[in-house]
């Protein structure tokens, strides 16, 4: 549970920057080198490397072994974990609305019986 | 688009802390006062207030008008926006797998024709 919490911290933090989200969107279409990730964003290679480190820490990306290119690859599992957490919350709040509806339904029925 | 990006930054940043996620999970069950949010977390009221500000900035919560209690309420829309962004990425990477499968299917068919 604690591990899961720490992982979600890292994942959501990694998602909290437009350049990192743009890189993840690009990697969703397939592997890319650091240069290929940097080009459309118009940011320096060191800046890209910094963003990549944040995403690697969150395990959102992995890097190839090839020493020269080390292409980046999207890892889907952490994104699924983030979506899973939000989905859990949705079930809670939708459950609350369902209970409210049931309760309002009961009130209406009682009102009907009284008449 | 830029506005959407800034909003996603604030939303994902707000989600990147276990105390804030715990508070959002609590608010999913219904409104709560600052005191009610603080109690189960064992953190100080000023710390809770700081977290609430981060969540208010992301529009994840709203505060009641009642000057004394100002109960906090969960706003679902930003969570839906965050889930929506992840869902967009899923469509991209699943599209990639689909194209790969189609391509591999084509290769297999070609192989079959040659035999």
The number of C-alpha atoms within 13 Å of A47 and in the hemisphere containing its C-beta is 12
Residues B4 and B7: their CA atoms lie apart, in Å, by 5
> What's residue B18's pLDDT?
96
The model's pLDDT over B61-94, given as tens digits with 9 standing for 90+, comes to: 999 877 677 899 999 999 999 999 999 999 998 8
What residues does A72 pair with on adjacent strands?
Answer: A32, A63
Residue in A1, A7, A16, A19 to test binding to B, most B beta-carbons within 10 Å: A16
> Would the CB atoms of B18 and A8 count as touching at under 8 Å?
yes
- Which residue ranges form the domains of chain A, and what is each CATH number? 3-114 (1.10.10.10)
pLDDT tens-place values along chain A, 115 residues long: 567 889 999 999 999 999 999 999 999 999 999 999 999 999 999 999 999 999 999 999 999 877 677 899 999 999 999 999 999 999 998 887 777 778 788 888 887 766 5
> What's residue A106's pLDDT?
83
The model's pLDDT over B94-113, given as tens digits with 9 standing for 90+, comes to: 887 777 778 788 888 887 76
User: Which residue has 């690009």 as its token pair?
Assistant: A26
List all residues of chain B from 76 to 105 with a beta carbon under 8 Å from chain A. Answer: 76, 79, 82-83, 85-90, 92-93, 96
The rounded Cα A17 to chain-centroid distance in angstroms is 12
| Two structure tokens written together for B70 | 């100002």
Residues A76 and B90: their CA atoms lie apart, in Å, by 8
Residue of B nearest to A96 (CA): B29
The model's pLDDT over B9-66, given as tens digits with 9 standing for 90+, comes to: 999 999 999 999 999 999 999 999 999 999 999 999 999 999 999 999 999 999 987 7
> What's residue B48's pLDDT?
94
Residue B115 has pLDDT above 60, yes or no: no
Residues B77 and B89: their CA atoms lie apart, in Å, by 19
| Residue B2 pLDDT class (50, 70, 90 cuts) | low
Model pTM score: 0.86
Q: How far is A114 from chain B (nearest CA, A)?
A: 30
């Amino acid at each position: 549970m604690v591990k899961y919490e720490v992982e979600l911290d890292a994942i959501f933090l990694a998602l909290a920057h437009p350049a990192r989200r743009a890189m993840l969107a690009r990697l969703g279409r397939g592997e890319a080198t650091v240069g290929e990730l940097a080009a459309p964003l118009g940011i320096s290679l060191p800046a890209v490397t910094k963003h990549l480190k944040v995403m690697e820490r969150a395990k959102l990306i992995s890097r190839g072994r090839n020493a020269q290119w080390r292409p980046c690859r999207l890892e889907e599992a952490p994104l699924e974990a983030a979506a899973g957490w939000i989905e859990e919350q949705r079930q809670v709040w939708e459950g609350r609305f369902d209970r409210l509806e049931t309760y309002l339904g009961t009130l209406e029925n009682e009102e009907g019986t009284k008449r």
